[in-house]
Structure formats: C-alpha cells, structure tokens
Structure 1
Amino acid sequence: MKILTAQQIRDCDSATIEKGISSVNLMEKAARACVEWIEINFRTTHKFLIFCGNGNNGGDGLAMARLLYEKGLDIEVFIDKNNKGFSSDANVNLKRIKHINGIDIKSFSDFSMTNKDKTVIIDAFFGYGLNRKLSGEMKNIVEKLNLTKIPKISIDMPSGLFADKIVEKDSTVFKADFTLTFQFYKRSFLHPETGTFCGKIEVLDIGLDEDFIDEIETDYFVIDEDLIKTIYKPREEFSNKGTFGKSILVGGSYGKIGAVLMSTLSALKTGSGLTFTIAPECGNMIIQSQVPEAMFMGSGERYIDEIGIQEKAVYGIGPGFGKEEKTQKALFDFLKAYKDPVVLDADALNILAETGNIKSIPKNSVITPHPLEFERLFGKTENSFERLELAKEKAAELQIFILLKDHHTAVITPDKRVFYNVTGNSGMAKGGSGDVLTGILTSLMSQKYEIEKACIFGVWLHGKAGDLAAEEFSKESMLPTDLVQKIGEVFKSLLD
C-alpha cells in the first residue's frame, strides 16, 4: 500500500472528483464508510458527541451526524458558532442537520463531562489539512476532551497531528482510541512520537481514483497482505533440501547460547533446507539437544574465535556473539574475505560501531539495528523521523538494507525507499525477538528470495507470528520461542 503526502492526497481527491463524483458526494461516501464501521464496532453505544471543524474534515463529521441520527442514535454536534467560514461542502452538511430537530448543535464551550455513559466522542476537527499546531479555543477543547475516559474516534487523523512530519514536543494533539483513515496510512501514524495518538488504525476504502493511485510515485509504503502474496513462493512438490538453501547462524557465547539457538530454530521454521550453527563448544549440547535438525560447528571454547566460510550459503551473524577480542578478529577476518550479502545483528553491529568498521559490510547485506544500535552505528538524531532520513542516506551510501526496528519496523532499501511493517505488538518487546528475526531473514535469503523481498516478507512474517503468539498467550506472557512456534501457522494462512 502506498503512503501519500497530504498534497498527494488532495490531488487524489481532485482526480477522483474529475472522474465524475461531486466533492459533496465523495464526502458522503467517506461519512458512510465511517458510520458502517461504527455500526459494527460500537453496537451498544447510544450517544455520539461529534466535534466538527470548519473544513472538509468537519464536513465529514456533520454528514456522520445525520447518518448516525438516521440509525436512531442520540447525536450532539459541537462547532465554533462564532466562525462562519465553513468550507462549501461542510456548509452543505451543516444546513442539512439544521433542519433535523433531533440533532443538537452546540458551541465547543457548551461541552461538559457529566452523564456520558455509553457515549463516544468523534474528532472531526481538522484531518490531514492541518498546517499549524493547535492554539486558543481549539487547543483548550482538545485538552478537555483528552481528560475524559470516554472512547474517542478520530476521523482521517487525530487533530493536532501533521500527515508527514513530527509535531513539536509541547503540541496539543487529540488522543484517539481509534483512527478511521481514508484509503491511505499517513507517515505520522507509523512513528512512535506521533503514532501513540492514533490508537487502533482502520483504513477505509472510499473509492478514490485507482488510476491516479497506480501512477503516483512515492518512496513510502506499508507492507500489507496484498504485497506479501506477490512475494511468497509456495514450495514445489518436486524439490529437495538443496533447493531451499543453506543457512549458517553464527553467534552465542558463554551464557548467551540461547540467542543463536532461537535464530537457528526460526531459520528452520521458516524453511531453510540445510541449517548450520557456528557457536562455541560450550553450546554444543544445548544446540544439539534442542535443535537436532541443525548441524553444529564448534568455534572456540567459550567464545567464537573463527568463522569458517562455506560456499553457496547465507550467514546470519551476531545473536549472543559477545565482543571478546578473538571474536572481533573473527568477524573482521570473515568480512574481509566474504563479499556476498550477510545478515548482521546485535553484537556484530556493536563491534562494527565501536571499531568504526562500518564500511566493511558487504554490499546488499542486511543490518537490523534497534534505535540504540543505530545511534551507535551512525550517530544521534533528535527523533524517529530524523533517524529514518539518516537511515535512508546510510543505506544509499553503503548500498545495504537497513531494517530499523521499532514498534513499526521500517525496511530501508539502497535506493532510499521505505516499507513500514504494521504487524507485531508490544509483547515482542522482549530479549530474543530480534534473534528470531535474524533467523527468519537468513532463511529467506538462503531460499533465494530477492533480498528486498526477503526483508519485507521477513519483518511481516516475524510480526504476524508475534500477533498469533499474543492472541494465545497474551502480550505479557508470550515468549520469543512462542513466536517461533507460530511461524508455521502464518505459512498455513498464506496457503489458505
């Protein structure tokens, strides 16, 4: 799914209108899509308090007020009665509800927080059209609404957010439980500083012009199931273990053998044909007893001191690796001799950061830093938007793929395109989840998935398995090894 800028969305609306639908009827479609979603998800709610701005987002809210009233619900609409500058389409919908005796139209200042059982607040102040931070009466009413415990829904996007950039730290933003957005994600939904205001995001199809969407260019995308289905390659019946590649997971040190164990498990579960583990001898019995399907190759007693090179294999290096002097030398010697793409994670990245050997990473390799690891590698940034821009520059400079791990992990390609992943959950915020991802990526690359597709598929598969694990065990109790066990269910769902 493409992510468009605010201006591109305006252009898309215009292109749709040029195809024959009036702007007020497009507004009606948007309102109906929201009301249909509300009917399904808020069946026991009797009353809706709808806060409308003067622009087209307010027009959406005014149209929703009429449609919800027609469903037999109790509706109160709040507007700025002192401001007569409504957009033409918003004004059409305002006039329509003025003729309905059962809909109360009040000023923002009339809102009080008493007697609000089975009530929902709807934010239709601004949408994506905002270009300044909230101030004055609008700021005050949003702050007042944020104090309530009433469920809150934002239409298009939470008021106070910008579509394409971060907000200032002291800005007031509507805190939604749900955001009903039209046709596209906005970039601000996908960054931690701004996404926290959105709650659960629902993308509603309102029939915007498909030709325009197909032709418009963007560097930003959301990974959705439609994209995954174009990437996933079901297994051919007439194949053998050699068909599905050789994965070599390198890691582990005394007390940290579990990290490379989880990488090895996830590589096997993702379909690796032949799977090897290079780890210190102290991990031999652990690996062999827990993963008999993998072949163990010892290196050093307590810490890895050599990484042997095998042909036609993909290496995933770093989980539990440690930073011993001999281990560092083993990594440098390997990278000096090996020029094919590798997956680098955890201590492998920390070693490169501390020694300044970042340029030794082979081209088209994949690195998977979390924010702190990224900072060690490339320097400090003020926020996640800046971090992503720096990641784009470094991916292009080094000609590598950067998987920037966060609540919504972003895949950054060497040509500066960005793919945001929207699977996964906070239950995955546990040590070991990243080790599982390393195994998944290594396995997919060894199975001859193109590297970009392996990255996109890998982060989606990782997150989707995590969602299934959270459903069964809860976010609090799920373990990274539970995630590994759910990989098979994700593949089954793709086949279905």
Structure 2
Amino acid sequence: MKIFTAEQIKNWDRFTISHEPVSSIQLMERAASAVAGWISENCKNYKRLVVVCGNGNNGGDGLAIARILYLKGFDVDVFISDPKGKFSADAAVNLKRLRDISGISVRRFNDIAEYNFDDKTVILDALFGTGLSKPLEGEYRLLVEQINATKNIKISIDIPSGMFADRLPESDAVILKADYTLSFQCWKRSFLHSEAGKYTGKVEVLDISLHHGYLEETPTRYFVIDDEVVEGIFRPRQEFSHKGDYGKVGMIGGSYGKIGAIVLATRSALKTGAGLTFTLAPACGYEIIQTTCPEAMFIKGGTEYVNNFGIDKDLICGIGPGLGTHPDTEKKLLEFLKSYSGPVVLDADALNIISKNKKNIERIPEKSIITPHPKEFERLFGRTGNSFERLELAKEKAKLFHIYIVLKDHHSQIVTPEGNVFYNVNGNAGLAKGGSGDILTGILASLLAQRYTEEETCLLGVWLHGKAADFAARKHSKESMLPTDVIDELGNVFKELNKEVKSF
C-alpha cells in the first residue's frame, strides 16, 4: 500500500471528483457512510455519540456522520464552535442537512464542560483533518484538553486533531488521544512513528473508493507492507524439489553465557525453511545447540567465544546473536567481512563491533541487511533528534553503502539503497523482550538463502516475524509470550499464507 502526503491525498480527492465524475459533497457522503458503517458494526454497545466538528471538511465529515448515525438509531449530540461561523462549502451543506432533522442537538464548544459523559458515550473527533498547518491553540486547544480528560472511547476521523500527516508534533503540542483512528484510503506517515503514533490508538484504514488510476500513477517513496505485498512475494514450496533448492544458511554467534541467542536464531532459520542450516558457535555451546536444534549442523568456531569464521563461501550468513565483543571475535569478524563478498545479515553484537570504528561500516558487503534497534543505529551512524530524522539518515546511509537497513521499532522501517521505505504494521509490544531480534536474524538469513532478493527478504521476513508475534500474543498474551512462542507460530503463519496464495 502506498503512503501519500497530505497534499497528494488532497489531489487524489480532486482527481476522483474530476474522473468519476463525483461531486465533492458526494465524496464527503461516501466517506461519512464508510465511517458510520464501521461505527455501527463496532460500537453496538454504545448508543450515545458526541461529535465535535470543526468548520472545514473534516468537520463536514463529522456533521454527515452525525446525521447518518442518528438515522441508524444512535442518540447524537453535535458540538461546533459557532453556529453563525464560516464553514467550508461542503460543511455548510451538511450543517443545513443536520438542522433539517429534529432530534439532534447542536451546541457550542463551551457547553462541553457541563456535558454528562456517561460510560455509554463515544466521542467522535472531527475537528481538523490533514490540512492542519499549525498546533492547536485557543478554544480548540482547550476543547481537546477537556476531551482527553474524559475516560470515554474516542474515535478520530481521518487523523487525530492536532496531528500533522507529514511531520512530527512539537513537544508541547496538544493532540487528541484517540482509541481508534479511522483513516481514509491510506496510512499517514506520522501514524507510523512513535512520537505521533501514540495518539492514534488502533488505526483502521477505510476504503472510500478514491480513483484507482491516481493510486497507480502517483509515485511515492513510502509504503506499508500489507497482505497483498506479501502474497506477491511469497513462493509456495514446490512438490518436486529437494533441500538443495532452498539454500544453505550459516548462523554465526553465541559466546559463554549467551548460547541461547544463537539457538533462537538457528531455530527460526530452520522454521523459516532453509534447505540446510549450519550453526557456527563456540564449543561451550555444542551440547546445547545439538540438543535444542538437532536439524542444524554444528561448526566449532572457538572455545568460549567465536574466533574462527571459517565457513563455506556458499552459505548465507546471519551474524551477531550472542556473539559477544571479545577482542579476538572483533578481529576475526572484521577480517571475515573484508574478505566475504556476498550479502550477510548483521545484528546485535556484530553491529556493536562494527560501530566501534566508523571505518568498519565500509567493510559491510554490498546488499547486506543490517537490523539495528534505535540505540544500535545511533552507535553506527550518529544521534538524531527524532525518528523522522533517524529515517532520513538511514536513507542516506543505505544509499551510500548500498545496504538494506531494517530499523527496528514498533512499526519497523525497511530502507532500501534506492531510497524506498516500507513500514511494517503488524507485530505487537510482546516482542519487547530479549531474543526477539535474534529470531528476526534467523528468519532473514533463511529467506536470503532461499534466493529471495534482498528487498523481498526484508519485506517478507519482517512481516513473518510480526505476524507470528500476533499469533503468539493471541495465544499467550503480550506479557507472557516468549520468543520461543513466536518461533512456534511461524508454521501457522506459513499455513495461512499458503492458503491465501493458493486460493487465487
């Protein structure tokens, strides 16, 4: 799914109006009907709605939604700034339509302080849309603060009021903190970054049938990894095939006291389908690895830490889980990277070793995949002021070194050497545990060994990781799920993926 800027979305509306053709008020009605349908389906236990509307088109959406939901049987109260104020043309039409129906009260914002919000009331936020250009102030700031202070379910229409679509909020900004955001047609970039995303709640993207031609013709560098993207990448296993068709992967890592990390990486590589899996680790981990991962072949890489990276050149390597940073390990890793020409997957201590000297980054083979969390990224490339700036720096470095960067975050970002950015939107906070990154390393290395391209590997691998985590959370809860639970769910993800791909 493409991600467009606020300006591109506005142009998409115009394109739809001119090419269908459909009038702007009809398009607003289409959007309002989509929201009303979602609320009718998902808010059956709530019968009272408070809709706060601005004077622009987002407010017009809210006025139309209020009318539709009232006719569906909801008790609706609407709050606006000034009944005699200046509204956009389409908002004015919907205000008149609303007033033509008896039973809906239209009040002023300053009346909301005395309103009785019972626990069956849902608040709909239709104050400002993506056209907002400055932080909230005056009566709007006060109104949002009052709404945020309530314990009621809050639903924002298209975007939480006070938030920008294409930039992050200022530190002292007041933004409506929604439980749900019903976004029209596509994600907004700000939703996908922690500084702004914490205000959106659960995001639901509603299809309002904007013209498909604009979607296909309009370029962007930003995308969301959705099921359609994944199904276009995934290749079901062929019946007449053998282990040689699915590549050889070498997981390198482990040190005394950290053997569990390389076990997790090895197990996830096996479960992701590599034809042959090798684990290069120190001898102190031999019994553990052979017992927990009998399908993998063990290569001795040292005694208590790895000091020998001697592997076959036809192995695709995933390096870093539990590796440690012993001086001998550091020396041998850097020598290996200098002599190895193929792409590798680098994580954890491999990145920590590389970050000790900025010149080490030049040793990363082209087309390699690195998977830093924010602190590891900072150590590698320097500090940035926020996650937007970090992403821009990642784009610069991916292009400079011709590598793929997986920026691990709540919505991980995959940055390609061409400057494209793919956001992953599955996964959950249950992955905020030691060992989760080791699993991802194994998944990526296994897919790369199976001859997926580097970009395909990143997109499919991060999606698989997140999807398995969602399955694990449903079964065990985010609090109690373990990285091993995520590995165990990979099989169920593949079963579902095979079913979807083969159903076409």
* TM-score band w.r.t. shorter chain: over 0.9
Q: Mind listing any 5+ residue stretches in structure 1 that lack a counterpart?
A: none
Matching residue of 2:47: 46
* Distance in 2 of aligned mates of 1:76 and 1:463: 40
Partner letter of residue 324 of structure 2? G
Give the 4+ runs in structure 1 shifted more than 4 A.
none
Question: For each residue in 1:178-198, what CA deviation from the matched residue of structure 2 results, as whole angstroms up to 9, or x when unmatched?
Answer: 000000000000000000000
Alignment correspondent of 2:489: 486
Q: Within 5 Å, give how 1:313-328 maps onto structure 2.
A: 313-328=315-330
Give the partner amino acid of 2:60: G
RMSD: 0.8
Q: Distance in 2 between matches of 1:465 and 1:446?
A: 20
1:381 is matched with which residue? Answer: 384
Q: Which residue in the other structure is 2:430 paired with?
A: 427
Offset of residue 333 of structure 1? 1.2
Equivalent positions of 1:94-493 (< 5 A) are 94-111=95-112, 112-356=114-358, 357-493=360-496
Cα distance, 1:82 vs structure 2: 6.1
The Cα of 1:311 is off from its aligned counterpart by: 2.5
Q: Give distance in 2, aligned partners of 1:290 and 1:58.
A: 59
Tell me the percent identity.
Answer: 57
1:103 Cα deviation after fit: 0.3
- Distance in 1 (CA, whole Å) between partners of 2:117 and 2:282 is 66
Tell me by how many angstroms 1:83 deviates: 5.9
Q: Secondary structure, in 3 states, of the residue corresponding to 2:457? A: helix
1-structure distance, mates of 2:251, 2:297: 10
Q: More displaced, 105-114 or 481-490?
A: 105-114
Amino acid paired to 1:459: V
For residue 359 of structure 1, what is the amino acid of its counterpart? E
* C-alpha displacement of 1:336: 1.2
Counterpart amino acid of residue 38 in structure 1: I
Distance 1:180 1:152 in 2: 11
* Structure 1 residue 115 displacement after superposition: 4.3
- How far did residue 214 of structure 1 move? 0.5
Q: How many Å separate the matches in 2 of 1:131 and 1:420?
A: 25
**Correspondence 1:15 to 2:15:** yes
Deviation for aligned residue 1:113: 4.9
Deviation at 1:12, TM superposition (A): 0.3
Q: State the Cα deviation string for residues 244-296 of structure 1 (Å, max 9, x = none).
A: 00000000000000001000000000001000000000000000000000000
Which secondary structure does the structure 2 equivalent of 1:354 belong to? coil
Rounded Cα–Cα distance in structure 1 between residues aligned with 2:335 and 2:84: 70
Q: What SS does structure 1 have at the residue aligned with 2:79?
A: strand
Deviation at 1:331, TM superposition (A): 0.2
State the secondary structure of the residue aligned to 2:215.
Answer: helix
The normalised TM-score by structure 1 is 0.99
Instruction: Name the amino acid aligned to 2:313.
Output: E
Q: What is the DSSP-based 3-state SS (H/G/I as helix, E as strand, rest coil) of the residue aligned with 1:237?
A: coil
- Give the C-alpha shift of residue 330 in structure 1: 1.2
Deviation, 1:25, is: 0.5
Q: Secondary structure at 1:222's aligned position in 2?
A: strand
Give distance in 1, aligned partners of 2:115 and 2:282: 63
5+ unaligned residues in a row in structure 2: which ranges? 500-504
Cα distance between partner residues in 1 of 2:204 and 2:298: 46
CA contact (8 A) 2:307 2:328 kept: yes
In structure 2, the residue corresponding to 1:390 is in which secondary structure? helix
| TM-score, structure 2 normalization | 0.98
- Cα 1:115/1:159, change in 2 over 3 Å: closer
